[in-house]
Structure 1
Amino acid sequence: MGLEVFDLPPRAAEVAVEVTALANLPASLAERAEAILHPLRQVIPFQAVRIALLDPELRRHEPLTCHGHNDRIREYMTTPQDYDEVERLGLRGTTPLRIRDLPVPLQEIPTWMELFRPAGFRDGLGVGLVTHDGRPIGFLGLNTDTPAHLSPAACNLMRLLAPTIAHAVDPLRSLTVLARIVQRMTAATVLTTSGGTLPLPGLPTHPLLEATSVVLPAVIAHLGRTPDYATFLAPYDRPPTEAGHVRITLLGCDGPPPRHLRAVVAVSAPGDLHELTGTELEILGALVNGATAASIAVARGIPVKNVDGHLERIRFKLTVADQATAVLRAAREGLYIPAGLAAGSRS
């Protein structure tokens, strides 16, 4: 578009400072998005606006804040067709594009001719929200009732502010904070609804958190419970490790957009295992999953008396009076290996 970076509207510096401060507020993503609209409106008078997050798995934009659009437009904005159109028109790039700058004539854009123009809008601007480390996380769109408001200077300001706005509404930023509450956490990732994983900014990952890891099916099996939280053990014999195990903790994040981010999964040191052996931790995992001593014996190919012997030692090590209490404590403290991670052959 040939815009000059130094060509900025009046009060641009003041607005940039305010947006930066708002981007770091201890608030929800939606609250930060809403707060940012006020300083933007001071330099770019707009009649409608939306800040939305990408959901690539459902191919849609999930609105954090949306004002000034009628019901038909708002309904369209959450469809895969809108998602595809934003991509096709190049509106997800880091350079703001006005309606007049699009590579397609306006008459060939049905949504503009049938939805936006009849609603009284005469121009618009779209820009992708891409974080400073290059992650595309959302989209910002403005509409005005006159082309005059979206000047080259206004576009330059939006280009400068877009990464800061992306920082304000970055969902992985909040989830990184969530991962850090896990004691002795050494690595973490985000599990998506499709079973994929995403790295968390500033945190290392781990072989057990890769999409092909046997740990993730065990994590998925724990999701959807109340509370949406679980912790358990996984065998791991490569350094750094303790006692041949690591602790896996999942923290559900189902709810606020974008909804394809399902849970934070963290790896940490195992903690005090009370001298429980790998076999005993596997037996506890089977019991937590509803198995009986007899079914465990069959599954492991050992006599029931051997399982009973393990159960007696488990009760002694956990200093509990009966099996039911041992299972409750194992479930509460994550002192078990889920069945899907058990070797199944040790006795």
Structure 2
Amino acid sequence: MTEEIALALADVAASTEPLAARAEALLVALRRTVPFDGAWVALADPMGCGYSSLASIALDDRTLAHLSGPVMAHDIEVAGTDRVRPPMSPSDLPFPADELQTWAECLIPAGFHEALGVELFGPGHRQIGHLTVYSGDRTPPTDTTRSRLDALTPILAEGVDPMRSAIATARLVEHAVAGVIVAGDRAVIRLPGFVDDPLLVPGSPSSTRPDEPCTTNGPSRPSSGRAFPSAPTGASCA
């Protein structure tokens, strides 16, 4: 059964559907083998400032607003579920879950009493986001449920990785060896699989003006850097 679900999840993860639609489809497929009453998957802020909701099942707007806020990010850190580790349940905590503001003020009033949370990572432990499945049952998740979610986590992480399209676009640039994404607030995020380059560091022409091409005339760098004006965050390569 798990192998069948893994194949189904892999198909969804590899699809070209929009990211949010793909994430929701992954949750629907996951529910076939990891039972839950509600689910939330979010992307981690690349600058380490919390999470933004990507897709969910059976969670109301108030709950989603809380999960995307700073309190949830703080509670994830306090619980230790932001690390590379198997999925964690509130029953694994060394203190009552209602000592966390998210559980006391949001999840328990919404009817949830158990959960499994896991951080999503890409190659090289690159942080992608967070997934939590919630249950109204007070019984802790079984070992079978835990191991199933743990086994499927890499597929889920790959499926919601927002870097996939940026990396694919960057690889279309001939001879490109370095690449970054320039976020809306001018934060510079290096593309996985590409090296660092002086042209693409914070403050360089390519990182401050993502809507214009950047070039280099240095004798050791005959290739040119380019920006992609169609990308909302300005992916640049050199």
**How high is the TM-score relative to the length of structure 1?**
0.62
Look up the match of 2:76.
86
Change (3 A) 1:35 1:136: same
State which of 92, 95, 115 in structure 2 corresponds to 1:124. 115
Look up the match of 1:234.
216
CA drift of 1:67 comes to: 2.0
CA drift of 1:172 comes to: 1.4
Q: How do residues 1-347 of structure 1 correspond to structure 2 at under 5 angstroms?
A: 11-57=1-47, 59-93=49-83, 94-148=85-139, 150-211=141-202, 214-216=204-206, 219-221=207-209, 223=210, 229-238=211-220, 240-241=221-222, 246-251=224-229, 253-254=231-232, 262-267=233-238
Q: Which amino acid aligns with 1:30?
A: A
Contact 1:52-1:65 at 8 Å conserved across structures:
yes
Residue deviations 1:160-197 (CA, integer Å, cap 9, x gap): 11111111111112111121233443432222345443
CA drift of 1:45 comes to: 2.0
- Say which SS state the counterpart of residue 189 (structure 1) adopts: strand
- Figure out how many residues of one structure are paired with residues of the other and give that number: 237
CA drift of 1:149 comes to: 7.6
Contact 1:45-1:149 at 8 Å conserved across structures:
no
Larger Rg: 1
Contact 1:124-1:143 at 8 Å conserved across structures:
yes
CA distance in 2 between counterparts of 1:247 and 1:120 reads 53
Look up the match of 1:319.
none
Contact 1:97-1:125 at 8 Å conserved across structures:
yes
CA drift of 1:63 comes to: 1.3
CA drift of 1:42 comes to: 1.1
Change (3 A) 1:27 1:107: closer
Q: Which amino acid aligns with 1:73?
A: T
CA distance in 2 between counterparts of 1:71 and 1:248 reads 40
Contact 2:213-2:227 at 8 Å conserved across structures:
yes
Higher mean C-alpha deviation, range 23-32 or range 178-187:
178-187
Identity of aligned residues (%): 27
- Say which SS state the counterpart of residue 202 (structure 2) adopts: coil
Change (3 A) 1:106 1:249: closer
Give ranges in structure 1 of 5+ residues lacking alignment. Answer: 1-10, 224-228, 255-261, 268-347
Contact 1:91-1:97 at 8 Å conserved across structures:
yes
Contact 2:75-2:100 at 8 Å conserved across structures:
no
CA distance in 2 between counterparts of 1:20 and 1:147 reads 31
Contact 1:131-1:164 at 8 Å conserved across structures:
no
Contact 1:252-1:264 at 8 Å conserved across structures:
no
CA distance in 1 between counterparts of 2:231 and 2:168 reads 12
CA distance in 2 between counterparts of 1:182 and 1:71 reads 41
Change (3 A) 1:247 1:175: closer
Contact 1:215-1:234 at 8 Å conserved across structures:
no
Look up the match of 1:332.
none
CA distance in 1 between counterparts of 2:115 and 2:137 reads 9
Higher mean C-alpha deviation, range 198-207 or range 82-91:
198-207
**How high is the TM-score relative to the length of structure 2?**
0.88
CA distance in 1 between counterparts of 2:195 and 2:137 reads 48
CA RMSD of aligned residues (A): 2.3
CA distance in 2 between counterparts of 1:130 and 1:58 reads 14
Residue deviations 1:66-116 (CA, integer Å, cap 9, x gap): 121233211111211211111111122331001111232123123212321
CA drift of 1:142 comes to: 0.7
Change (3 A) 1:132 1:153: farther
Higher mean C-alpha deviation, range 75-84 or range 101-110:
101-110
Look up the match of 1:327.
none
Give ranges in structure 2 of 5+ residues lacking alignment. Answer: none
- Say which SS state the counterpart of residue 125 (structure 1) adopts: strand
